[in-house]
Structure 1
Amino acid sequence: MKRILKIVGSIFGGLMLVGLILTLTGNNATTPTVYLNADVTKSYGDLIIYVQNNDTADWTDVKIELNSGYTCHLTKIAAGTTVQIEITDFITSDGTKFQPSLTAPIALRIVATFNGKTAYYSGTWD
């Protein structure tokens, strides 16, 4: 009986060691982050946001988030094009529109599908 327990203990210990080795060698395949090549500017007293797709492929299923909470959804931003978005097109989940008279646009994040993968852009203004 003691011999069986030793064998079972050895097998269990071996499995734990293999798991540790796989963890430490990076075989926990993680997907690298994909970044969007974008230029984002604002003008007209912070009333218009311009988003330029500098990538070689279209972005689809585009979610643009302003100041962590106001979003604007676009079906597509074609490669090499710039879209113009009115600041009041950014709304919260309850339908509240962004009001530049109360809050300045300071941060913008984009999440979109690019070449079949989820890709990101993040930036801030002074």
Structure 2
Amino acid sequence: MKTENNLRYFKKSEFVKAPDKLHPDIMPSMDELRHLACVPIHIHVAWNTDGHSKNSYHYKGMAVDFHFKQGMLSPVEQFACIRSLPIFHGIGFYPWWNSPGWHLDIRQDQDLLCWISHGPEIYCYGVEALIRYLLEH
């Protein structure tokens, strides 16, 4: 069943600050991710004006931070769902957040970039590093 703006699971207001400033592919892509995962997703932030890295895709309306409902999917299963949607070229996992979750962005100018964040401004880049962490925890 489709709802507001042809979204099945989300309301535009769930994308918090200024959802109209988001790239038109963000909300439908997150809705599709929710559909594939078969579990609720809680959006932390999408478009934003501060609190992220200098050239953050949040400032361009091309990123979203969120978590899957806890206890439903392992982080490896979450990653598999995310990777099934090729629109996401930036994928970061943040296990230290109050609700461990993900950053996804739709960067157009780069190949896939993955990372694991071990704390504020502490990153380890590469799909191998991310997968290794997910499998070990």
Same fold by TM-score greater than 0.5:
no
Whose radius of gyration is greater, 1 or 2?
A: 1
Q: Give the strand-richer structure, 1 or 2.
A: 1
TM-score normalised by L of structure 2: 0.27
Q: Give the helix-richer structure, 1 or 2.
A: 2
- Of the two structures, which has the highest relative contact order with CA contacts closer than 8 Å and spacing of 6 or more? 1
TM-score normalised by L of structure 1: 0.28
